[in-house]
Amino acid sequence: MIDARIHASAGGAILFDAALAAQADEAWFDPAAWEARGLLEGHGGGRGRVTFVRAPFGACALRHYHRGGMVARVLGDRYLWTGMESTRSFAEFRLLAALRGRGLPVPAPVAARYRRRGVHYTADLLTRRIEASQTLAQHLREGRADARLLQRVGALIARFHAAGIYHADLNAHNVLIAADGLYLIDFDRGELRAPARGWQRANLARLRRSLMKVLNGAGPAGGEGPGGFEDALWTLLMRGYETAMEAA
């Protein structure tokens, strides 16, 4: 059970799980501080580079929010201030906590921070890391995405869709395969919605475009020809999705 508390910090606030730590610490959001203590374990990719750290309460992933697209050239990591609970980090923390409460496989939120300057703010999020996991993209590139895995991925997506969970960036890099199951990560701009075929289909179309992009650069393992995309892979994924949706 997540015990969400808010702690005032320099120029902003930290929302954190008091079940993990009695007090929030600004140093949680500073990769250099983790490195100085010998607790920085590496980095991941993505628009906002992820830093992997070994915290006293377990392995965690630290992400600084960055804008994408053309607007990134102007605003970089700055977002328009519209209120504390509307900050990207607080919203994602709250959503992850709600999803965990429903028993859905997502990373547990540890702490979220914003720092305000004038009409803009910057944001960071610390979550528990899904250890010993690989992305669906990695499995596809290496030719390890078999029929069973693809159907499980489809069933995973269906589980979220049936619960009305919209993932704003559903792609092959945000599906993790671990020894204890499959997870969805990165719920920035995610929402709780009334289940509806319209947004669910759009979500699936986004995922399919991601799979095509991965496979088109995967070489022979990605399809019947170099860089090819097999419709059979998508058919398997959708079989798992539709079966799970019918059972929901």
- Give the residue numbers marked as catalytic: 169
- Give the span between the Cα atoms of 231 and 206, in whole angstroms: 15
Nearest partner of 155 among 237, 231, 96, judged by Cα:
237
- Give the span between the Cα atoms of 117 and 11, in whole angstroms: 7
- 3-state SS, residue 5: strand
- On whether the CB atoms of residues 142 and 221 are closer than 8 A, the answer is yes
What are the phi and psi torsion angles at 171 (to 5°)?
A: -145, 175
- Give the span between the Cα atoms of 194 and 164, in whole angstroms: 5
Q: Which amino acid is it at 93? A: F
